[in-house]
Amino acid sequence: MAHWADSYLTVPYIDGGRDATAGLDCWGLVRDVLHQHFNLPLLKDFGGIHADDKANMTRAYRVVKNSFSPCAPSSGAIVAGFNGETLIHVGVVIENNGLKILHTSSKHGMSKCSVRQFNRLFLQVKYYAYNSK
């Protein structure tokens, strides 16, 4: 039986994308998955920030991080990859025959990987629970 996350694997990467039908970027994916599959309120849009604009991505992260609590990797957690204090990429942890990271990028498109594989991509990786209340 297919996992719900498999339906995302055909969604194209679009910089600033916020629609799972038209395409998503990494933040759009996190917003959509948490809202659609974990019944959480939509996170702030930040649609005008391009994926290559790491300075503004980091500023946007600082705006919303007060609604996050550090946690261990677990289903529904937001995963953030950093180079020093600079946010590079985000994804979401899912349970799919073990914990996996669902994420998307302009270079590779939508993909699932193990927590270990994702952790190797960045100098620092942080996991967060979204405190929607």
CATH number, domain at 82?
Answer: 3.90.1720.10
pLDDT in tens, 108-127: 999 999 999 999 999 999 99
Token digits of residue 128: 């967060």
Specify which residues 70 forms β-bridges with: 128
> Over the stretch 22-61, which tens digit does the pLDDT of each residue have?
999 999 999 999 999 999 999 988 877 888 899 999 999 9
Q: Tens digit of pLDDT for each residue in 52-106?
A: 899 999 999 999 999 999 999 999 999 999 999 999 999 999 998 899 999 999 9
Structural domain of residue 69, as residue ranges? 4-130
Closest listed residue to residue 26, CA positions, set 74, 73, 87, 85:
87
Please tell me the predicted confidence (pLDDT) of residue 115. Answer: 97
Count other Cβ atoms within 10 Å, centred on residue 82. 17
Q: Is 61 exposed, middle or buried (0-12, 13-18, 19+ CB in 10 A)?
A: buried
In the chain, the number of structural domains is 1
CA distance 69 to 65: 8
- Amino acid 2: pLDDT: 74
